[in-house]
């Protein structure tokens, strides 16, 4: 399709989208947040969507390669050419049809089991065609004995082309179709699905080296769509937007000599290794191949691609995963480039002993680039991971268990070559938390130069059912005494999609807001920083996160770093008090309990509830006094700040609330100043935690206030008038409520 996408009518673009969507009109309507009746009117040309919806439709069509993009941003792949659109649409339709045929039989318990079989069939078909064979063809395989014929065909392809790297870890039998010998009808239906890919023209284009990245991209998009349907699989999938960003950031960081070796079609000898030790479906490796592939085709021509692909897949790209299903999918994903001999390993990357340990030890000091998203949250008993330095040397004695992401961080340093680069998705606990996390940072600091840290929004992994706060960590293993004088920190607010819930499904909705392209240009020096900032960074810094280092404006930073000693500190106007009590010991009575939800930041008011002492929550521990200013330490962006009224003197509040006792300043003045963005940004900067971000109240006395003492005093008289008026209104309301109750007998 050579026509510009702007010359296609919106109804034509929408029709192409519906044809490409597995769920048809209903799913497209859901993705657009529109009704099916509206969709029908747009398809028929009877009405036109609003401009923002039209942009969403065209963006989705561009992403799927259904129409070319006139202004494709650098973060995304070049638009497909006209002939390639035919292959893409045929591949997409075949993949969906095969999965639905398998799923409709009812014999496979879930879509991800059907996905396994799709991958086996597609691998066999593409590799057969690429090596001059017929592919899955009705003339050769169909008929009354289709089931054993199809099984034998797939088994034969895997027997011939199973990667050497997997030979001692899996067998060809692990890739056999789950097809019984008497299921001829099912086999014939599956064979028929490949009919559109068996035409001479489609087969010629699929054999063309210039179409290899298209085939891979189509399968990659199919994986994205399939994984979004299954929460169990979604946990393995890094959003494509993040994958594209990380791959380009990592490749840009590699020395030019290493890139020359990788991209030299005649290069021999040892090649730089690009590793993903938790490769899942191979997203990072496949995207790396697509980027390099485009560079090779542009600079060296299509004729050198087959030899270069074989070398790169065998010598450069290395993937490891402990899930056999993920390895099968990764094998298919990478094989779409026409190189079945890929360097994949079925192994636990954290293993230190046995065959798996030897596999990982063979990678010691060899990786020029690690691109990865490690598994989060798995816990290991410290006694079981004694071979790790973090357990043996770095951690304090209080850590009885160690999370998997901590162990992976140590292993990355083992696998990286001197000067090697790591680009990894990590939970923010790696960058901010104390305890063993701080021990890890101190242990790594001597061996690494931090290059950049990009904070990702909570929605990043929401499609998989988690709002875990994550960041992209980008560092280099030191060579001698190298050091990075400045580190780039950025906070990404928009990532190119939102996630909404429709029934039990979480649906990704593409948006026009994506900070990643601008962040990539800033981080690689192509654009003056606007979203991010370069900051000086010492190896002994207590925190590595972007929120801490780039969460404040230059104006606030200038005041924080003022050398004249005249900055106004919160500690000058309030004491941080921590008077403790335990209401469960009060006896059989009740007490007034203030929770975070009882603080109304808009009016700075505080209410409470009466709770039986015997039912006192474990967090009900802090005594408050009238006039105290309460501030929630959890999610400070909500600005839950209030003043304890006289009638709650002696109440008890949650330990999630910091208690400030004003001195030489009116409580209302202090509360209002604390709600200013100038102060709130400082609190956000001190956030830690990946599920429920909170700050340590110990930072409060050192918070800089935007007002000088004379201004604070000047506002005090006005604040006193406001407070008296509020108390009078409160008294009147109580009298009114009492009168209503008396008159009605309530």
Secondary structure string (H, E, C) spanning 594-660? ECHHHEECCCCEECCEEEEHHHCCCCEEEECCCCCEEEECECHHHCCEEECCHHHCCCEEECCEEEE
Instruction: Check the CA dihedral 739-742-744-746 and report its sign.
Output: positive
Q: At 51, which helix (H) or strand (E)? A: helix 51-63
CB atoms within 10 A of CB 629: 26
Distance between CA 641 and CA 601 in Å, rounded? Answer: 5
Q: How far apart are CA 615 and CA 411, in angstroms?
A: 47
Q: Measured between alpha carbons, how far is 657 from 675 in angstroms, rounded to an integer? A: 15
Separation CA 147–CA 153 (nearest Å):
10
Contact 36, 29 (CB under 8 A): yes
Measured over the CA atoms of residue 69, residue 75, residue 81 and residue 85, the dihedral's sign is negative
- Residue of 197, 244, 196 whose CA lies nearest to 220: 244
pLDDT at position 78: 39
User: Measured between alpha carbons, how far is 129 from 134 in angstroms, rounded to an integer?
Assistant: 6
Average pLDDT rounded to a whole number, residues 216-233: 65
Position 613 scores a pLDDT of 95
Radius of gyration, alpha carbons of the chain: 30
Please name which of 569, 575, 547, 570 lies closest in space to residue 686, comparing C-alpha atoms.
Answer: 547
Q: What pLDDT does 234 receive?
A: 43
Residue 484, pLDDT above cutoff 70: no
Percent of the chain with pLDDT over 70: 86
Query: Which of 92, 68, 76 is closest to 8 using CA atoms?
Result: 68
Cα gap 31→15, rounded to integer Å? 15
- Residue 264 above 70 pLDDT? yes
Secondary structure (3-state) at 367:
strand
Q: Model confidence at 598, in pLDDT bands (50, 70, 90)?
A: very high
Q: Residues 678-698: what's their mean pLDDT?
A: 82
State the average pLDDT over residues 661-688. 89
Q: Which of 118-132, 141-155, 280-294, 646-660 has the lowest mean pLDDT?
A: 118-132
What angle do the packed helices 324-335 and 111-130 form, to 10 degrees? Answer: 40
Q: How far is residue 475's CA from residue 446's CA, in Å, rounded to a whole number?
A: 12
Q: Which residue has the tokens 């030979």?
A: 167
**Confidence at 168, pLDDT banded by 50, 70, 90:** low
Distance CA 193, CA 629 (A): 68
Mean pLDDT for 32-56 is 78
Residue 390 has pLDDT above 80, yes or no: yes
User: In the predicted model, what is the mean pLDDT of the chain?
Assistant: 83
pTM of the complete model: 0.74
Rounded distance, CA 96 to CA 115, Å?
A: 10
At residue 481, does pLDDT exceed 70? no
Distance of CA 306 to the CA centre of its chain: 33
H or E segment at 448? strand 448-455
Average pLDDT of 54-76? 58
Query: Above 80 in pLDDT, residue 52?
Result: no
CB atoms within 10 A of CB 167: 10
pLDDT at 218 exceeding the cut of 90:
no
Rounded Cα distance between 570 and 560, Å, is 12
Task: Quote the Cα angle for 555-561-563, to 5°.
Answer: 120
Q: By mean pLDDT, which of 70-84, 147-161, 483-497, 559-573 is the weakest?
A: 70-84
The 10s digit of each residue's pLDDT in 529-548 is 888 999 888 877 889 999 88
Top pLDDT among 670 and 166 is at: 670
Residue 150 is predicted with a pLDDT of 93
């Amino acid at each position: 399709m050579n026509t510009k996408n702007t010359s296609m009518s919106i109804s034509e673009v929408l029709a192409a989208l519906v044809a490409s969507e597995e769920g048809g009109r209903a799913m497209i309507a859901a993705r657009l947040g529109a009704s099916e009746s509206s969709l029908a009117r747009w398809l028929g040309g009877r009405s036109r969507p609003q401009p923002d919806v039209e942009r969403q439709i065209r963006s989705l069509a561009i992403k799927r390669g259904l129409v070319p993009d006139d202004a494709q941003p650098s973060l995304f792949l070049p638009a497909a050419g006209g002939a390639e659109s035919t292959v893409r649409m045929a591949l997409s339709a075949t993949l969906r049809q095969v999965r639905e045929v398998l799923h409709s039989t009812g014999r496979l318990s879930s879509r991800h089991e059907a996905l396994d079989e799709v991958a086996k069939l597609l691998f066999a078909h593409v590799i057969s065609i690429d090596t001059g064979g017929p592919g899955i063809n009705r003339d050769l395989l169909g008929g009354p004995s289709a089931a054993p014929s199809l099984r034998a065909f797939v088994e034969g392809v895997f027997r011939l082309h199973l990667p050497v790297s997997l030979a001692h870890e899996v067998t060809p039998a692990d890739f056999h179709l789950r097809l019984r010998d008497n299921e001829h009808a099912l086999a014939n239906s599956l064979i028929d699905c490949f009919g559109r890919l068996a035409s001479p023209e489609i087969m010629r284009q699929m054999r063309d080296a210039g179409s290899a990245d298209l085939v891979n991209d189509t399968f990659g998009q199919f994986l994205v769509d399939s994984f979004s349907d299954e929460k169990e699989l979604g946990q393995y999938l890094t959003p494509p937007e993040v994958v594209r960003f990380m791959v380009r950031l990592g490749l840009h960081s590699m020395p030019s000599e290493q890139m020359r070796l990788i991209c030299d079609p005649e290069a021999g000898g040892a090649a730089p290794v690009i590793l993903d030790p938790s490769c899942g479906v191979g997203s990072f490796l496949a995207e790396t191949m697509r980027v390099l592939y485009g560079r090779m085709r542009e600079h060296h021509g299509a004729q050198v691609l087959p030899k270069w692909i074989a070398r790169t897949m065998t010598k450069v790209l290395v993937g490891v995963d402990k899930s056999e299903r993920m390895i099968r999918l990764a094998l298919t994903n990478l094989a779409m480039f026409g190189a079945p001999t890929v360097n994949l390993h079925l192994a636990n990357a954290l293993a230190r002993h046995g065959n798996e340990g030897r596999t990982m030890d063979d990678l010691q000091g060899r990786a020029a680039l690690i691109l990865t998203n490690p598994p989060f949250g798995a816990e290991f008993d410290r006694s079981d991971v004694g071979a790790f330095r973090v357990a043996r040397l770095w951690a304090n004695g209080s850590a009885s268990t160690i999370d998997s992401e901590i162990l992976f961080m140590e292993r990355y340093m083992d696998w990286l070559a001197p000067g090697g680069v790591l680009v990894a998705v990590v939970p923010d606990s790696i960058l901010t938390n104390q305890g063993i996390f701080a021990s890890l940072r101190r242990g790594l600091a001597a061996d690494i130069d931090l290059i950049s840290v990009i904070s990702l929004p909570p929605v990043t992994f929401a499609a998989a059912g988690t709002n875990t706060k994550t960041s992209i960590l980008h560092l280099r293993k030191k060579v001698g005494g190298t050091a990075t004088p400045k580190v780039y920190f950025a906070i990404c607010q928009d990532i190119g999609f939102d996630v909404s819930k429709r029934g039990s499904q979480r649906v990704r909705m593409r948006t026009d807001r994506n900070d990643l392209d601008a962040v990539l240009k800033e981080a690689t020096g192509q654009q003056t920083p606007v979203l991010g900032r370069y900051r000086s960074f010492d190896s002994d810094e207590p925190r590595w996160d972007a929120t801490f280092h780039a969460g404040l404006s230059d104006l606030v930073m200038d005041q924080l770093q003022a050398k004249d000693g005249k900055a106004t500190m919160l500690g000058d106007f309030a004491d941080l008090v921590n008077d403790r009590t335990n209401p469960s010991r009060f006896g059989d009575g009740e007490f007034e309990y203030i929770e975070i939800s009882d603080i109304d930041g808009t009016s700075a008011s505080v209410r409470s509830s009466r709770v039986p002492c015997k039912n006192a929550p474990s967090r009900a521990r802090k005594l408050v006094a009238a006039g105290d200013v309460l501030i929630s330490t959890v999610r400070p962006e909500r600005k839950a700040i209030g003043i304890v009224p006289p009638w709650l003197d002696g109440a008890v509040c949650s330990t999630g609330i910091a208690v400030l006792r004003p001195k030489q300043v009116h409580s209302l003045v202090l509360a209002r100043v604390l709600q200013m963005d100038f102060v709130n940004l400082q609190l956000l900067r001190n956030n830690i935690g990946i599920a429920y971000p909170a700050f340590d109240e110990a930072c409060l006395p050192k918070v800089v206030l935007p007002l000088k003492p004379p201004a604070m005093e000047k506002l005090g008289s006005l604040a006193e008038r406001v407070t008296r008026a509020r108390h009078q209104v409160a008294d009147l309301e109580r009298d009114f409520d009492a009168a209503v109750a008396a008159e009605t007998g309530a």
